[in-house]
Amino acid sequence: MGAAVFGKDFIFRIILDGVVLMSLIKYTKGTLKYEKYLKSAENEVKVSREECCRMNIMVVDSNQQHLDDLVAKIQLVFTNDTVVSFTDPLLAVKYAHNSRVDQLFTEVLMRRIDGFMLVSRVRKCNPQANVIFVTENDRYIREATAICADGYLIKPISIKKLEGCMEWQPYS
């Protein structure tokens, strides 16, 4: 199946709202956000227009006040996307094992497991997830870079910082 070949052009067939669309996609970062949909026979699937264009954002911070603040800002910027939040990173892992996660915002220092362990566990079932660390200092930038994090934001988070780190574009 061409969808499994990264870095190459491939053609797949998708049925969107009952209409067959032929698309030529060149893989770039973010192109295969819906790879799990492309695994059926002959790369043919049914996806609603709303589902195809909506991003699932997961936010994890053990500090409820910081979590609420970040979630409110994300919802202001990304009004059509789904945002789920957790103060318990282990509950976030459980959610990720049963749901698609396109974007993960996580604090580094949390109870039970840290942000790096959370990212490792989420990426096992959602390898396409973009990861942005949100923390109070730049102490963990090297570690974040080493695991290929997509961003690193230092609290407090402004809406402008948030918009700058989110470059995910759904394909149509």
pLDDT in tens, 67-111: 999 999 999 988 889 999 999 999 999 999 999 999 999 999 999
Helix orientation angle between 115-125 and 89-98, rounded to the nearest 10 degrees: 10
Burial-class residue 56 by CB neighbours within 10 Å (0-12, 13-18, 19+).
Answer: buried
pLDDT tens for 120-164 read 999 999 999 999 999 999 999 999 999 999 999 999 999 988 888
The CATH number of the structural domain formed by 54-165 is 3.40.50.2300
Statement: residue 41 has pLDDT above 70 = no
Q: Specify the pLDDT at position 167.
A: 56
The answer to pTM > 0.85 is no
Domain boundaries, the chain: 2-51, 54-165
Residue 158, CB-side half-sphere exposure with 13 Å CA sphere: 3
Residue 30 has pLDDT above 70, yes or no: no
pLDDT of residue 3: 31
Give the model's pLDDT for residue 18.
43
Question: From CA 127, how far away is CA 24, in angstroms rounded?
Answer: 22
pLDDT of residue 80: 87
